[in-house]
Amino acid sequence: MGWYCLVPLHHRRRSSSMDGLLKRRRWWGSQLWQNPFFALAMLTVFGAVGYRLVEPSYSWADAFWMVVITLTTVGYGEVHTLGSGGRLVTVLLLAGGIFVVQLAVQSFLQLSNSGYLRRLRLRRERAMLDAIEDHVIICGYGRMGQEVAACMGSEGVPLLVIDQQAQRTAQAMDDGFYGITGDASLDDVLRKAGVERARSLVAALGTDADNVYVVLSAKALAPQIQMIARADSQEAGNKLLRAGADDVVSPFVAGGRALASKALHPEAVSFMEILARTKYQIERIQLTTNQDEFGQLPGRSLAEIQLGSRSGALVLAISSSRGVQVNPGGQTVLHPGDQLILLGSRQQHRAAEALLGLATAHVQILEDPMDLHLRG
């Protein structure tokens, strides 16, 4: 048979109440010594009470005012001349103020060392990234990435930059863009950048292999996103297109074509540069050579189709084996295989393509003056 210690019920209740009292005292002490704002509030209250007790001529407003000008050391004069008791309270307040300042510095250092400030910053950044949508993701903030960001930023497009180098990410944030430091080919990084909510992605990393990985990862996470990738070679460009890129740009090919365009067609280059700063684009629509599909047109002439009036797009020229007709009139008749050159916004181009329907064989946006060369 075991031995049991029987404690009266009222003793157990008294013991539990004592434990609660001790816990409250420990909490009070921890608040006083660990929270500088709490310590400052207590110091202010005790200082005002001290002035009120030792200086009978002081009202409560005078007492609190003396505490404020003493702790802040603004140098204002005394409300009333202080006696020895009031001066003692002032000395204690100054000593307590120094203690509270030291306590505040220690608390700040503890927060910094514990990672609280970093977690707070990451939480704020996470909230900002979760709120961004319909943005453009730029992978790589080298010279090409910076140029892309500068051009898009001038149009007011929200941009988010991903780069493995923290220095480049910091530079992008200094330039006014969102930034994430990480590998853009990783799914977690792309999800953090909101690839599912983005309108397009620009892969401008330094190597073709990195850009291929980025395109593959982004296409798997967001099949609907428009992707433009940089390629240093024709072979890499073909691989990027097979990986899912909508368009591929080679800096060497683009640079060579720009030099040739400026040498051969300087006026066209100036026009295209002006057009690039607007919402309008030049589009080439290749009509089908299939007679059945071409027969689905609502008419044969531009007036019968009402291409300009119903879509809003301007027909600049029509190119065919018969020659090039610039600024065609409404009586101009379309034939299978013709090329229509239209000027308009993206919505106007979509409306024109819808009017042409099955008669449309191929559509191309012209951004290079060399592409304006028409047969004839």
Answer yes or no: CATH 2.160.10.10 is held by domain 266-372.
Answer: no
pTM for the full predicted model: 0.50
Averaged pLDDT, 286-298 = 86
| pLDDT score of 118 | 61
- Residue 187, Cα to own-chain centre: how many angstroms? 18
Residue 124 or residue 180, greater confidence:
180
Q: Quick check: 132 and 197 in contact, CB under 8 A? A: yes
| pLDDT score of 296 | 84
Domain boundaries defined on the chain:
23-113, 133-249, 266-372
| pLDDT score of 260 | 67
Work out the mean pLDDT of the chain and round it to a whole number: 78
Answer yes or no: CATH 3.40.50.300 is held by domain 23-113.
Answer: no
Residues with Cβ within 8 Å of 19's Cβ and at least 6 positions away in sequence, in order, are: none
Flag the least confident range among 3-17, 31-45, 55-69, 79-93: 3-17
| pLDDT score of 13 | 47
- pLDDT at residue 369 tops 60: no
Taking the CB of residue 311, how many other CB atoms lie within 10 A of it? 22
Written as six digits, the tokens of 132 are 């961004």
Report which DSSP code applies to 358: G
Residue 82 to residue 21: CA distance in whole angstroms: 40
Band (31; pLDDT cuts 50, 70, 90):
very low
pLDDT tens for 231-270 read 888 888 888 999 889 888 887 766 666 666 666 666 655 6
| pLDDT score of 168 | 93
- pLDDT at residue 15 tops 90: no
Radius of gyration in angstroms for the set of CA atoms belonging to the chain, rounded to a whole number? 37
Written as six digits, the tokens of 4 are 């049991």
Written as six digits, the tokens of 54 are 């030792």
According to CATH, the topology of domain 133-249 is Rossmann fold (3.40.50)
Averaged pLDDT, 47-58 = 86
Band (217; pLDDT cuts 50, 70, 90):
very high
Side chain identity at residue 16, one-letter code: S
